[in-house]
Amino acid sequence: MTATEETIAEENTGKPGSLYQKIGIASLIMMASVLLSRVIGLLREVVIAYVGGTGAAVDAYQMAFVLPEILNHVAATGFLSITFIPIFNKYLVSNRETEGWRIFSLIISSFGSLLLLFIVAACFFADHLVALFAPGIDDPAIKALTIRMTRIVLPAQFFFFTGGLFMAVQFSKEHFLIPALAPLLYNLGIITGGLVAPWIGIEGFAWGVLGGAVAGNFAVQWFGAARLGMRFKFCFEWTHPDLKHYFLLTLPLILGLTMTFSTEFFFRFFGSYMPRGAVAALNYGLRITFILVGVFGQAVGTAFYPFISRLATEGRMLEMNRLLDRTVRALSMVIPFSVFLMVVRHEVVFMLFQRGRFDAEATALTAHLLPFLLLGAFAFSAQTIVIRGYYALQNTLFPALLGTAAVLLSIPVYMLSMQRMGVSGVALGVSVSAFMQVALLYVCWNRRTQNKNSRHVYGAVFKMMLLSIFLGSALEAIRRIVFSGLDATTFSGALLTCLGLGVLFLCLLYVACRIMKMADILEILEKPLQKLISRFRVNR
């Protein structure tokens, strides 16, 4: 019996070492990491907002990431775990770990060298490339600042690439703690860069990006991989079959337009045509939205991928579909939390950002854009799960084609909504594009795998949408009636409003899920309460 069969058998007998329990433990580690990362990421945005508000310099800082994002996408840095884990797992399962380290060395040596050449070329031609990819910048001073910060951020992509492989090794060996530190140290680096060099203004944050990438994504991850027996030797063998296989797996991801890349690129590209401060406000709203996406979607997706990858390696499609569907149903809990944030949007933006140069006008603009962005939170979260099903089967071409088609179809949506609604249309375009991509991916997944139980997922999501509309309407009415006396322009008033509505929201959500018999959501809501009660009894 294989290791995966043992864990599935344990799941059926209720023994403690089950597959779902392992995924749960890994998910908790990654969820804690992502939650801390998002909190520190928010602190990073708070510091940036304090220093620059929604001024032109912050727009320049955001647009300085356009070219690095493109290079990051070309290097497939965000997909290293996706493409490398199945290849490395093959060697681990067949007890050929030495050869696994060889392909690991080949990938770093060959693709790392090519990436360094691209970075040097991009730095040299940065002025022309920024003019091409951020065409809406018409202020010479802002354009010069954007180009200068672009050249600072570009080298960080090499450390993201190599560090991504170090993390993929640790994921393959089911070690999650040290990789979980990467985003925390990265964000701390950005904050430190902005605070220790105030005389250079926003540019300090760009230097912090580089420092955070070196520390969190490279140095610490090198240590994590080394303690698991990493063996690296600088070498080239372009004809190695698994190097070719890695390239063929990665090529569709490079050529395809993914959800993450298109979101980060389009909000800056179209935002560059908007009035001053629009790009900064869109970014602040996205960071709030991505808290939900990170805590629910990214954490769970990262944790469950090594397990679903093993199921795929052993051809257990029934278990794969069961695990994927169960996870997507559970992620529908993102929907009511998104609606709750829509209700308290002004208070949340006010408490997080309104200080220093981030004034009431900036708060109003960011709060106005936030609901349009929150509409896509569930789509972003579900996409992190669905697309990993394809990747576990080592099918990167089909999802890349689907994603590219969805992105291209969303461009007219961006343009039309931007013309009709201005910067709000750009925010709406982000959410519409996300829904188009995840819908295409999931429908095609079910057809290709002949998944006959997907109707339960559609039903759960639809029920959660109806429930969320009811909750949002009720909370908005209560907010206007009960909490209208609180001064939302003071921190205490905004905090009391959020806390009061938050407690009420959780109570209403729990009761509604009980009535509607939504078992997956109830399990998530009840576990923390059960643990709290059990600890209380033990202490007594």
- The domain boundary, picked from 203, 236, 269, lies at 236
Q: What is the dihedral of CA 118, 124, 126, 129, to 10 degrees?
A: -70
Helix runs in 354-376, H state only:
360-374
**In the predicted structure, residue 27 carries a pLDDT above the cut 70:** no
CA-only gyration radius of the chain, Å: 23
Identify the band that residue 397 occupies on the pLDDT scale cut at 50, 70 and 90.
confident
Read off the tokens for 496.
């009391």
List the domain range (segments joined by +) for residue 277: 261-540
- The domain boundary, picked from 236, 252, 274, lies at 236
Q: Quick one: pLDDT at residue 14?
A: 41
Q: Is residue 44 part of a domain?
A: no
Of 159-168, 399-408, 496-505, which range is least confident? 399-408
User: 39-68 pLDDT, tens per residue?
Assistant: 787 788 888 888 877 777 888 888 888 888
Over residues 340-351, mean pLDDT: 92
Do 275 and 356 have their domain in common?
Answer: yes
Nearest alpha carbon to residue 483 among 416, 149, 361, 492:
492
Do 204 and 353 have their domain in common?
Answer: no
The DSSP string of 261-327 is HHHHHHHHHHHTTSPTTHHHHHHHHHHHHHHHIIIIIIHHHHHHHHHHHHHHHTT-HHHHHHHHHHH
Do 217 and 275 have their domain in common?
Answer: no
Q: Is residue 430 part of a domain?
A: yes
Over residues 468-494, mean pLDDT: 85
Do 361 and 469 have their domain in common?
Answer: yes
- CA gap 485, 435 in Å, rounded: 38
Over residues 363-384, mean pLDDT: 91
**In the predicted structure, residue 107 carries a pLDDT above the cut 50:** yes
Of 31-40, 351-360, 404-413, 496-505, which range is least confident? 31-40
The backbone torsions φ and ψ at residue 355, rounded to the nearest 5 degrees and listed phi first, read -165, 160
Bigger pLDDT: 487 or 220? 220
Do 170 and 299 have their domain in common?
Answer: no
- CA gap 284, 218 in Å, rounded: 27
Identify the band that residue 2 occupies on the pLDDT scale cut at 50, 70 and 90.
very low
User: 308-338 pLDDT, tens per residue?
Assistant: 777 777 777 888 888 888 888 888 888 999 9
- CA gap 328, 441 in Å, rounded: 13
Do 350 and 461 have their domain in common?
Answer: yes
Domain count, the chain: 2
Strand runs labelled E in 68-141: none
Over residues 437-454, mean pLDDT: 85
**In the predicted structure, residue 12 carries a pLDDT above the cut 50:** no
Scored b (16 or more CB within 10 A) or e, 170-185 reads bbbbebbebbbbbbbb
Bigger pLDDT: 1 or 299? 299
- CA gap 84, 76 in Å, rounded: 11
**Torsion sign over Cα 140, 146, 148, 154:** negative
Do 76 and 130 have their domain in common?
Answer: yes
User: 229-275 pLDDT, tens per residue?
Assistant: 788 888 787 777 777 877 777 776 666 666 677 777 777 777 777 77
Most confident of 53-62, 339-348, 415-424, 527-536: 339-348
Q: What is the mean pLDDT of the chain?
A: 79
Do 129 and 164 have their domain in common?
Answer: yes
Is there a contact between 149 and 61 (Cβ–Cβ < 8 Å)? yes
Do 227 and 291 have their domain in common?
Answer: no
User: 494-531 pLDDT, tens per residue?
Assistant: 889 899 999 999 888 888 877 777 766 666 665 555 55
Is there a contact between 72 and 217 (Cβ–Cβ < 8 Å)? no
Q: Is residue 323 part of a domain?
A: yes
Do 432 and 392 have their domain in common?
Answer: yes
Q: Is residue 183 part of a domain?
A: yes
Contacts of 332 (CB under 8 A, 6+ apart): 378, 460, 461, 464, 521
